């Protein structure tokens, strides 16, 4: 488990993080999402020990990272910027990694390099961006980490390779309980693999929930009672309405609440049209950060 409490970090006059609290459960895949500059990369670098915090605590496996040198041996961090590998080929990088990590698995690296079709003796700086991502991921996973920190891990990869990368992550989580914290803008892909989502904005945690709960208790509704004169006064007062708009006789709502309670409301009020679907992670993200979604609310029930 990774536990963060009251994490604060500033760069001169810029407040990158303002008292962040986070809990990443052991063996889970946690998705960290936010707009550009929200603080996602800063959080990953603080956990990895690349940066030091101004205040607050970070515990990995119940121990503070400031006191636990062994935590570095069990943690792998893949940043978005991979320029630090420019001087090595995969074989040379493997020699370096094998001396730094006590649980190095050279056979796993060989398997992944062969599967990805990567050359061993060409400098990584000569690789395409996608190939560099593959190489660094193979090297990192071969350290058999308990904690894997990923910053935009699939950016620049084709769909087939993205699928393979996620299969390795999910497999390591299932087989040996690896905990993964991933920052990404690809919300639709994260929706398919993450257990928990944390949404941050301007250095503050806006929401942290299990994905199933996050996308199942916020719904889009399309409701009509026919002629406006037939709509009962205050008919929506019993609902937790977060957004409302009306086009003609059809009302469009974003409502917080479980499906069962909304079905009960439908049965009690008997509108002529009642269509309901859970919101996607992308829609929840836009809604939580106060953006204007371009998603239409015409729903096929």
22-26, 57-61, 275-279: least confident range:
275-279
Tokens of residue 59, six digits: 């515990």
Classify domain 217-288 at the CATH topology level. Alpha-Beta Plaits (3.30.70)
Q: What is the pLDDT of residues 174-194, one digit of tens each?
A: 999 999 999 988 788 888 889
Which strands sit side by side in the sheet containing 218-224, from one edge to the other? 240-247, 250-256, 218-224, 273-278
Per-residue pLDDT at 301 exceeds 50: no
Is 100 a residue whose pLDDT tops 90? no
Per the DSSP assignment, residues forming a β-bridge with 2 are 24, 60
pLDDT per residue as tens digits for the range 222-242: 999 987 778 888 999 999 998
Residue 39 has pLDDT above 80, yes or no: yes
Q: Does residue 299 surpass a pLDDT of 70? A: no
pLDDT, residue 291, reads: 53
Q: What is the pTM of this model?
A: 0.80
pLDDT band at 67 (very low <50, low <70, confident <90, very high): low
pLDDT of residue 211: 83
Res. 292 pLDDT band, cuts 50 70 90: very low
What is the pLDDT confidence band of residue 141, given thresholds at 50, 70 and 90? very high
34 vs 105, which has greater pLDDT?
105
Contact 191, 37 (CB under 8 A): no
Domain span(s) for CATH 3.30.70 in the chain:
217-288
Nearest CA to 10 out of 66, 55, 44 is that of 55
pLDDT reading at 151 higher than 80: yes
**Could you give the residue range(s) of every CATH 3.40.50.300 domain in the chain?**
2-210
| Whether pLDDT at 127 is above 50 | yes
Q: 293: pLDDT confidence band, cut at 50, 70 and 90?
A: very low
Cα pseudo-dihedral 119, 125, 127, 133, rounded to 10: 100
CATH topology of domain 2-210: Rossmann fold (3.40.50)
* SS3 labels along the chain: CEEEEEEEEEECCEEEEEEEEEEECCCCEEEEEECCCCCHHHHHHHHHCCCCCCEEEEEECCEECCCCCHHHHCEEEECCCCHHHCCCEHHHHHHHHHHHCCCCCHHHHHHHHHHHCCCCCCEHHHCCHHHHHHHHHHHHHCCCCCEEEEECCCCCCCHHHHHHHHHHHHHHHHHHCCEEEEECCCHHHHHCCCCEEEEEECCEEEEEEEHHHHHHCEEEEEEECCCHHHCCCCCCCCCEEEEEEEECCEEEEEEECCHHHHHHHHHHHCCCEEEEEECCHHHHHHHHCCCCCCCCCCCCC
The mean pLDDT of 108-127, rounded to a whole number, is 92
């Amino acid at each position: 488990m990774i536990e963060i409490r009251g994490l604060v970090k500033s760069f001169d006059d810029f407040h990158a993080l303002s008292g962040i609290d986070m809990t990443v459960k052991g063996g889970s895949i946690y998705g960290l999402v936010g707009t550009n500059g929200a603080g996602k990369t800063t959080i990953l670098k603080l956990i990895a020990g690349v940066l030091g915090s101004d205040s607050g605590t970070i515990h990995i496996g119940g121990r503070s990272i400031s006191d636990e040198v062994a935590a570095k041996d069990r943690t792998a961090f893949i940043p978005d910027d991979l320029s630090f590998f420019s001087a090595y080929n995969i074989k040379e990088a493997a020699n370096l990694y094998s001396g730094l990590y006590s649980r190095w698995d050279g056979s796993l690296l060989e398997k992944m390099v062969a599967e990805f079709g990567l050359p061993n003796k060409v400098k990584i700086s000569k690789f395409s961006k996608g190939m560099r991502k593959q190489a660094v991921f193979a090297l990192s996973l071969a350290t058999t980490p308990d904690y894997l920190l990923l910053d935009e891990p699939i950016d620049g990869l084709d769909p087939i390779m993205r699928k393979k990368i996620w299969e390795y992550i999910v497999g390591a989580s299932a087989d040996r309980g690896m905990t993964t914290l991933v920052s990404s803008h690809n919300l639709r892909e994260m929706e398919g693999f993450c257990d928990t989502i944390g949404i941050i904005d301007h250095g503050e945690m806006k929401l942290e929930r299990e994905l199933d709960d996050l996308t199942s208790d916020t719904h889009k509704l399309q409701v009509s009672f026919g002629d406006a004169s037939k709509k009962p006064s205050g008919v929506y007062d019993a609902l937790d309405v977060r957004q409302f708009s009306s086009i003609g006789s059809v009302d469009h709502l974003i409502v917080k609440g479980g499906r069962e309670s909304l079905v009960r409301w439908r049965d009690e009020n008997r509108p002529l049209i009642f269509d309901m679907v859970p919101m996607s992670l992308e829609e929840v993200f836009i809604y939580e950060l106060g953006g204007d979604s371009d998603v239409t609310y015409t729903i096929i029930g």
